[in-house]
Chains A and B, each alone.
Chain A
Amino acid sequence: MMQRIDLAPLLRETVATPYSDLVTRSTGAALRCRIEATISSAPHRTTLLDFTAVGLMDFSCADEVVAKLLLRVAGEEEHYVLLAGVSENHVEAIGQVLERHGLSVAALALGEGLPRLLGCTSPDLAVAFQAIQRVGAGDAKRLADHLGWTVERAADALQSLALRRLIQAAGGTFRPLPLPALP
């Protein structure tokens, strides 16, 4: 089960503003507190943060909302965060602050059907992440066959993706994060 949190309405509930921009560290911190409370109140293992209808996002707010949220959920057992509805502006702000923290997140950009990786990554992680979105669940051998890699190389990449909560791992198999149903 996936929990969906629409950020634009939550922003308006959190701070009295006529705007839909996610700007300032103070706004970001207040919004993250609301997101954390919402996550805590539900049993879901995966949270989808929906940026649709969010306007501009600055770096300080991206740091508070996304980077600090990921740091917080990293301390919880098996909780996954996926972003959706992100614009190019959001991609830039989020990607850069996550790189600074050594974090990464899967994000569905507006109009795209498969998620992309934002933040800290490597060529192997990026390739493996994209491949598993297309190939679907499987083990290291399946990914290795698909990419023409050694099994060890594929296993290393999958293990890193799983540790970063970018894919789900269970009993030697791996699967992409569940995606929201298309409207």
Chain B
Amino acid sequence: MRVIELPPSLEDRTLDQVAAGLGGWPPEPFLLNAHGTTWASPYGLVALLTLGQALAEAKLPRARFAVPESAEAKSYWSRMGFFHWAAEYFDLVGSVRKKAFDNPSDVLLPITPIRAFDDVTNVVGTIQERAQRILSSEINLAPQATVRFVMTLSEVCQNIVEHAGTGGWVAVQTYFWKKRLGRKVVSIAVSDAGIGFRRSLESQASKFGDRWGDGVALEMALMHNVSRYRDPGRGQGLYHIRHYLSRWQGKISVRSGTARITIIPPWDDDQSLAEQLPFFPGSQVQITIPAQEGGDTQ
């Protein structure tokens, strides 16, 4: 059995290592080894669930999943509800608490499945009060900006229901991002096991000829507001998200298939478009907003 080693720190960029370990799609049966993983962002966790879900939906053998050795990592992953959902898709190796915690104090939104519009309504309804409190006190966002944050969350979750063709996952968390930023951030992570941007926008392919692929599809969706629906009101979700993030020096990164597109804020040095990445199923969105100057940065 192939063993895919998870990186010590699992987040948007290091997910590529996991994708490379799959060796293409469909992958041979494998074991995901998280033994040495000490930290994972919400993005990393929802992406792992997407991998398990994609295997199940493709009727491929369940993967085994060796849980982290780090007690701190296990505790955080449990609080986020990761093991609760992972048990549905992976054969877990190692002892963990699978039951999801009820409303842990340090989690803005634990990992939540999004399968229908009602799930989006419930996410928005439940997170508002907590988001107002935590984002104003920890990220120093003005009240109107916290409202826009929830609107952003609503739009990005709806994209799963409208475009993926299957369910997905969302999680929201604040954490101190010492390594890259030295500040606290709030992060929205959304991942689905669906058809991806290229297939969703396939009607555009003829305009691009040989250039058509995951990267161009992402560019069309994020930079040019193109939607597969002809209705002129469509395609606004990502536009409004970009507009909001530019005001708060936020970052959005969208990975789909073999490409990743990023709107880069001044504090980051990411690549704006990365193509020919190793394939990972579905689509993943990472939205990061740093604590604003003058706020609590500890």
A residues adjacent to B (C-beta < 8 A): 15, 17-19, 21, 23-27, 55-60, 63-64, 67-68, 88-89, 92-93, 96-97, 100-101
Residues of B within 8 A of A21 (CB): 121, 124-125, 128
CA A60 – CA B233 in complex, angstroms? 8
Q: Are B121 and A59 in contact (CB under 8 A)?
A: no
Of B147, B148, B162, B236, the residue contacting A63 (CB under 8 A) is B236
Which of B144, B151, B158, B232 counts the most A-chain CB atoms under 10 A from its CB?
B151
Let me know if B158 and A24 touch, CB within 8 A: yes
Tell whether, in the assembled complex, residue A59 and residue B155 are in contact, meaning their CB atoms are under 8 Å apart.
yes
A100 touches B236 (CB 8 A): yes
Contact with A along B102-139 (1 / 0, CB 8 A): 00000000000000011011101100100000000000
A15 CA to B121 CA in the complex, in Å? 11
Known: A89-B144, A89-B147, A96-B240. A17 touches B125 (CB 8 A): yes
**A101/B232 in contact, CB under 8 A:** yes
Partner of B124 from the list A56, A93, A96 (CB cut-off 8 Å) is: A56
State the main secondary structure of chain B at its contact with A.
Answer: helix
Given contacts A17-B125, A23-B124, A64-B233, 16 further A-B contacts (CB under 8 A): A17-B118, A19-B122, A27-B117, A56-B150, A56-B151, A57-B151, A59-B151, A59-B236, A59-B240, A60-B154, A60-B158, A60-B236, A63-B233, A68-B233, A88-B144, A89-B144
- Chain A residues contacting B155 (CB-CB under 8 Å) are 58-60
Q: State A138–B237 Cα separation when bound (angstroms).
A: 42
Q: Which residues of A contact B124 (CB under 8 A)?
A: 19, 21, 23, 56, 58
Q: Are A26 and B233 in contact (CB under 8 A)?
A: no
Report how far A93 CA is from B154 CA in the complex, Å: 13
CB-CB < 8 A to A15: which residues of B?
121
Contacts of A58 in B (CB 8 A): 124, 151, 154-155, 158
Q: Chain B residue with minimal CB distance to A24?
A: B117
Residues of B contacting A23 with CB < 8 Å? 120-121, 124, 154
The count of chain B contact residues (Cβ–Cβ below 8 Å) is 23
The residues of A that contact B154 with a CB separation of less than 8 Å are 23-24, 56, 58, 60
Chain B residue contacts of A27, Cβ below 8 A? 117, 121
Q: Is the CB of B158 within 8 A of A92?
A: no
Which of these, B122, B147, B158, contacts A25 with CB under 8 Å? B158
Q: B147: nearest residue on chain A (CB-CB)?
A: A89
Q: Which residues of B contact A60 (CB under 8 A)?
A: 154-155, 158, 236-237
Question: Which residues of chain B have C-beta atoms less than 8 A from A96's C-beta?
Answer: 236, 240
Contacts of A26 in B (CB 8 A): 117, 161
> Using Cβ atoms and an 8 Å threshold, which residues of chain A touch B122?
19
